[in-house]
Amino acid sequence: MQAKAQSIIPPKFIPPVKLPPNNNISNISFPNNVPQAISITAPTPEISSPPHQENQTLVDDKIAAFWDYQFLFVSQRSETAEPIKLRIVDGAIPQDFPLGTYYLTGPGLFADDHGSTVHPLDGHGYLRTFKIDGVRGNVEFMARYIRTEAQVEERDPITGRWRFTHRGPFSVLKGGKMVGNTKVMKNVANTSVLRWGGRLFCLWEGGDPYEIDSITLDTIGKFDLINGNHKYLLQDDQNLAPKLDVWDVAAQILKPILYGVFKMPPKRLLSHYKIDARRNRLLIMSCNAEDMLLPRSNFTFYEFDSNFKLMQSQEFNIPDHLMIHDWAFTDSHYILFGNRIKLDVAGSMTAVCGLSPMISALSVNASKPTSPIYLLPRFPNESNEQRNWKIPIEAPSQMWVLHVGNAFENKDENGNALIQIQASGCSYSWFNFQKMFGYDWQSGKLDPSMMNLDQDKSLPHLVQVSINLDAKGICQNCSVNDLNEWTKPSDFPVINQDFSGCKNTFVYAATSSGSRRALPHFPFDTVVKLNTRDKSISTWSTGRRRFIGEPLFVPKGTQEEDDGYLLVVEYAVSTQRCYLVLLDSKLIGKANALVARVEVPRHLNFPMGFHGFWESAEDCGLGN
């Protein structure tokens, strides 16, 4: 029997804040009893908007923007373990919509009951599911926290109160133990979700995935996917193991500290995985914990079939200090965009002492005007390439890659290859480890202005990278251009996953209309559809004071690449409601693109999610 919906702790009402005479948000004095920034919790059902009511004249859009941004990251302590049928407020669920479930994960809790707040990336994982039935025309919703080790430790099961004990990589604790706190690797399983081999997983950027019961959303526990499942790719002509160097010695010194004191796993599993639909394989990647602090990088790639049988694994040792969040693959290569980083000595000292976030130990390395792209041999025994894969291809500009939509390669009759990658990237000058999402770890507040600096192409935007290789695999040319000349701030590029690793025509992404004066770039309020063949661009936008997360493509199962629907969550911050929006992907840009809008009950309103996954009931041969 399934548990009934539960509300762990009632949400709190936020009293009005007195504005200064000049309406300068930086001068606001908050009452002692007002939660600040992301410590704000969801309003009670009687409260429908922030201190400025939607129907009032907004004397200064910066004030409204500040509050809208806070409510986008509102903490939610309520869960529902029993499916709730959602109300359709616009349109109808089409009968040809494939029966299936949309899984969306992301942070759910940013503030405890003892004065500490955490960065959105350190927020406890909160899994949301939307089961869509086109035949019956309804949608059922569930939401539960992932019971990670940190979540179990930090929430009192009797009182329901929270006390953060883990710092997390991006946060410090105000009401908890700061100095000497070695609980850094807070596996919150909040970044992505995967359904594969009949099992459901929530992933994080630095540890094992957590397996979830797909029916009840109960947490089963950690799933040790990669332990022992790796081997070195032999790296020289004599097939000899690499010799020890000074960095190997440094790694041996660091390992007992990182593994033992800070409890870091030897290999950190990345949260972004890939699915090779043609081969019916799951591709995942890990990196070594000690390489976070060393000028070298070890990346291991694993390929599993639909029964989690390991088909192959390879480890690549790269002589560069890199941070990888997302990556790509083709029929012949694993592709890494080498976001260059360096050790910040001063920051590392304060981070180790607990006086600043652990991420303070690192900073971006903008010492070179180019960006490295590593083309790693996926099937080295089948490759005729003579290029040294340790030497990167240098893209002609600095580009910090955030997310990859797709990559594919085409070869001509002479063996020459053209590799194309569709991705989102920003400049090194814009990217800042300690200011992502505008979080200020010193004040515990979110500042929307940090994400809305007017820096043209420094901001995240969509790009197409083209690499020409000759028959020996030697790079002849590398270029980076705006994808379809779309220059507005954008991120979360997605495609029809049936075309992953293959040549695709359509790319969808979240972008900004630029209509909001104080929030011109982020949060996003628009879905953009790019046709890479005819270069056409189509968009669909939300209403005023509404924002969106990552779009997700649901195919109808026909041969047409864009024949399907887009799912996207809409956050109506003015009324504190979340909606699941269904768009006809063929009609993006037209008045009738909206198919249905489904409302989540106010008491279950949730903060912005990160990455989702669609599982059709027929599972399209991708491993049920």
Annotated binding-site positions for Fe cation: 325, 403, 611
- Pairwise CA distance, residues 264 & 511, whole Å: 35
Record the tokens describing residue 250, joined without a space.
């440094």
Helices first, then strands: H and E counts in the chain = 4, 39
- Pairwise CA distance, residues 369 & 110, whole Å: 37
- Give the strand order in the sheet containing 400-411: 400-411, 417-426, 461-469, 475-482
Four-point Cα dihedral 119, 120, 124, 129, nearest 10 = 180
Phi-psi region of 280 (alpha: psi -120 to 50; beta: other; left: phi over 0): left
**What burial class does residue 558 get, using C-beta atoms within 10 Å of its C-beta: 0-12 exposed, 13-18 middle, 19+ buried?**
exposed
CA torsion through residues 272, 490, 588, 505, sign: negative
CB 189 within 8 A of CB 609: no
- Pairwise CA distance, residues 416 & 297, whole Å: 29
- Pairwise CA distance, residues 253 & 259, whole Å: 11
Alpha carbon of 137 to those of 131, 133, 359, 565, 596: distances in Å? 11, 6, 46, 15, 10
For residue 289, the SS3 value is helix
Record the tokens describing residue 432, joined without a space.
């800042």
* Residue tagged 């009949």 (tokens): 198
CA torsion through residues 471, 473, 477, 481, sign: positive
HEC sequence for 5-40: CEECCCCCCCCCCCCCCCCCHHHCCCCCCCCCHHHC
Neighbours of 420 (CB within 10 A): 17
Neighbours of 574 (CB within 10 A): 21
For residue 244, the SS3 value is coil
DSSP classification of residue 397:
S
Neighbours of 193 (CB within 10 A): 29
- Pairwise CA distance, residues 306 & 282, whole Å: 7
CB 600 within 8 A of CB 575: no
- Pairwise CA distance, residues 488 & 467, whole Å: 24
**Distance, C-alpha 160 to centroid of its chain:** 28
Taking alpha carbons only, the member of 199, 173, 178, 202 closest to residue 188 is: 202
Task: Give bridge partners of residue 585 from the DSSP assignment.
Answer: none
Alpha carbon of 538 to those of 270, 423, 599: distances in Å? 32, 18, 25
CB 143 within 8 A of CB 192: no
Length of the chain: 624
For residue 351, the SS3 value is helix
